[in-house]
Structure 1
Amino acid sequence: MTLRSPAVPADPAYTVPSVPDAPPGGVARLRASVARFASGAAHERRRALAVAASARVDPQALSERASAGAAGPVEVLAEALGLPTDVADDVAVVDADRLRGLLPVLDLLGPASLLYLDRAAFQPNGGDAEVEEVACDDAEMTALLARVDTLDADESGLADVRSPVFVVREGVEVVAAAGYEVWPRAVAQHGVLVAPGSRGRGLARTVASAAVHHALAAGLLPRWRARPEPSQRVALALGFRDVGSQVSIRLGTAPAVGLR
């Protein structure tokens, strides 16, 4: 795999390498058909088609239609684009084993559910525990992260939080914490973590509710990435809606089987 310098996108002399055409079906066909992997006239033509299709879609109407729950997000978008709504049947959940069979995968994270929250759908939960606001770089956050295994710490996303952190204590010790990181386009990516001995008591929902309230007050769009089922339950209880899934992969350099 060739890594490009971060300065490449800003270099007007750089030309995107051409991608050979491919028969219908598969990743090779996709790469050969999108504007991202083209330059010059081909790029302009493909981009114009994508922009024209997007211009026909009213984002507010999409949001209202999806929030009404009359159809799933894929069906709503397909309907807006004039496509048959049964195209949703072709949008399958990512299969990790299939990916490993098609691509030279070194590492794979996911699939994970992606959930977003509409302000009107928020279901706040104060709980009985007292919630305290602390700084994101507080030494207590480091201590909490150190009390769980690496997988739990990474999954929580708490190490990336840059907002105030909302915590619950037992005595002087922080046992639950939640906050968020601000992403582009005013998205608040939430993270929550509860110490192993304090789970199953609703503390995740209590601290997450405080963090979500803070993000909404700041005019942000709350986003939640959940792989473990308990994390999904917390998000759904707060009013988040599952809109899709995500998988992240790191590829090796060996040729992929079945791809051109």
Structure 2
Amino acid sequence: MPVNAHTRQIIELAWSRILGLDDGAITEASAAGGRRLEVAVEDDSGEDDQIATFVRLYGASVLYGPRWLLDAARDLDDEVLALESTMIRLGAEHSARSLGEWVLYYADDVPDLDRSSTVAVSYEAADAQELEAQCPADDITEVGLSGLDSTFTLIPDDGAGTPTGRPVAGAGYEEWQGLIGHVGVLVRPDVRLMGLGAYAGAIAMEEAFTEGLIPQWRAALGNTGAQRVAATLGFELAGSQTTVLFGQ
């Protein structure tokens, strides 16, 4: 089921604050039929105006970036602008490179979670780092597990508290605006497709809910594995995000 109206408003509030809008801006835009909002980044430091992001959320959309990009994109449909290739083309003269094209999911309920008797949950950052040491570099970069605000690492256990192996999976969340818990999951390559990622993700979601945060899942476009995990955990599709970097 889609998230309820109250949860949706909190999600819209969080993104309004992330993108530098008034608190009710995205909610109002969605209610008005989904008009596009623009946030022009005017920063004389030459740093903040090097990034641009296009977010679609519950029918509304926001383009955040330098003024020249907003002008170039104004006549483009949202479906076209959301494409990674479009953003790169618009920024070609500014050495544009993609930081990602993602789909956004949210949940307002905790998935059913039967505690395992074969893996224990560690809250120690060192165990998250040990898991990362066993995973491909691209996966480590995408998830950023050890850098998240809270981490939950699964370690094989004999049921009596004694570890019987190295970490097999982990999840965590990063707090956004004190409202959203951005969830990431990392699974050791040799034990994938065994449900460990979903189990770790459910633990992270439960902990995020406990802290009063709405869980967010962000999957790279075309990453069917991440999208399957989202469905298993009860996340509902809400929009997309495409981000590019200029002049780097």
For Structure 1 versus Structure 2, the TM-score category normalised by the shorter chain is 0.5 to 0.7
Cα distance in 2, alignment partners of residues 188 and 179 from structure 1: 9
Of residues 134, 153, 176, the one that matches 2:140 is 153
Q: 1:139-166 deviations in whole A, cap 9, x for unaligned?
A: 2221211222221111123132222414
Q: Which residue of 1 aligns with 2:111?
A: 123
Corresponding pairs, count:
178
Amino acid at match of 1:251: F
Unpaired stretches in structure 1, ≥5 consecutive residues: 1-35, 37-45, 58-71, 79-89, 254-260
Structure 2 gap segments, 5+ residues each: 1-19, 32-56, 62-76, 158-163
Q: Percent identity?
A: 30
Distance 2:117 2:219 in 1: 24
TM-score (norm 1): 0.59
**1: CA distance between counterparts of 2:29 and 2:228?**
36
Which structure has greater helix proportion? 1
SS in 1 for 2:79: coil
RMSD: 3.3
Partner of 1:32: none
From 99, 120, 124, the equivalent of 1:109 is 99
Q: Tell whether the 8 Å contact from 1:129 to 1:206 is kept in structure 2 after alignment.
A: no
Other structure's SS at 2:168 match = strand
The structure where strand makes up a greater share of residues is: 2
- For residues 111-260 of structure 1, what are the structure 2 equivalents within 5 Å? 111-119=101-109, 122-126=110-114, 130-137=118-125, 139-169=126-156, 171-227=164-220, 228-252=223-247
CA distance in 1, matches of 2:141, 2:124: 16
SS at match of 2:171: strand
Partner of 2:28: 54
Is the Cα–Cα contact under 8 Å of residues 115 and 224 in structure 1 kept in the other structure?
Answer: yes
Structure 2 residue matching 1:174: 3-state secondary structure: coil
Is 1:91 the counterpart of 2:78? The answer is yes
Q: Which amino acid aligns with 1:200?
A: L
Cα distance, 1:242–1:249 mapped onto 2, change above 3 Å:
same
